Amino acid sequence: MNETNEKTLKNKTQELAQLIWDYHHVKHTLEPADCILVLGSNDIRVAERGAELFLEGFAPLLVFSGGLGNFTKGNWDEAEADKFAKIALSLGVPSEGILVENRSTNTGENLRFTKSLFAEKGLNPQSFIIVQKPFMERRSLATFEQEWPEKTVRVTSPQIKMAEYPNEAISFEALVNAMVGDLQRIKLYPDKGFQTYQEIPEHVWEAYLELINRGYDKHLIRE
């Protein structure tokens, strides 16, 4: 493949990925809430976003939820929630404002185990701000609606563009594979009872199929 064709192919891949990135964002306007719930991941910028919102006064309670999941098991030596809590403390969040749930391994468990933690602590927050990776906003919303339909929720993520998202820990290839896999889960999980239904526009699904054809299938569920 010559340099011109390679550049064209790369640009098209970026265009397709941008469609899926944009779809995964739910574009919520944030409002003050009872609790900021930060879902664990391999992206420490999620912890920083949660701490930022706490320090700006969006909620009096900051909860970190996450053990070791798909992208951190075998790569991190401590639970996601523990690492995230340390980051929040380093940014000035007081320890009395933080709760940690460090056993969950997926989004559903994040919410179920956090419910159990609240029950143990005698807490019953009614409104939430969920913080997760940018391309997991919609999945987080759909899972919350399924697991906790009686609560109100807004979802947010690190405020960053797709072009600026890849870093030393998360390559562009890893990002696209993850976004494609999460879109597949948005499609499949409602029938499994894991998430609420989310409409997927035709042009987004076509981008998904094309990216799979281009080899971005590493995070797909093999059924």
Find how far residue 77's CA is from the centre of its chain.
Answer: 21
Residue-level pLDDT at 95: 96
- 2 contacts: CB under 8 Å, gap ≥ 6: none
> Are residues 46 and 38 in contact, defined by beta-carbon separation less than 8 angstroms?
yes
- Is residue 1 scored above 70 in pLDDT? no
Q: How far apart are CA 150 and CA 143, in angstroms?
A: 13
Domains belonging to the chain, first-starting first, are 9-213 (3.40.50.620)
In this prediction, residues 108-112 reach a mean pLDDT of: 93
- Which helix (H) or strand (E) segment holds residue 114: the answer is helix 107-121
* C-alpha triplet 150, 62, 189: angle, nearest 5°: 45
Q: Does the pTM exceed 0.85?
A: yes
Tokens, residue 46: 């999620």
Provide the mean pLDDT of the chain: 92
- Helices (H), strands (E): how many in the chain? 7, 5
DSSP conformation letters of 67-87: ---TTTBTTBSS-HHHHHHHH
The per-residue pLDDT for range 55-98, each reduced to its tens digit, is 999 999 999 998 876 666 666 678 899 999 999 999 999 999 99
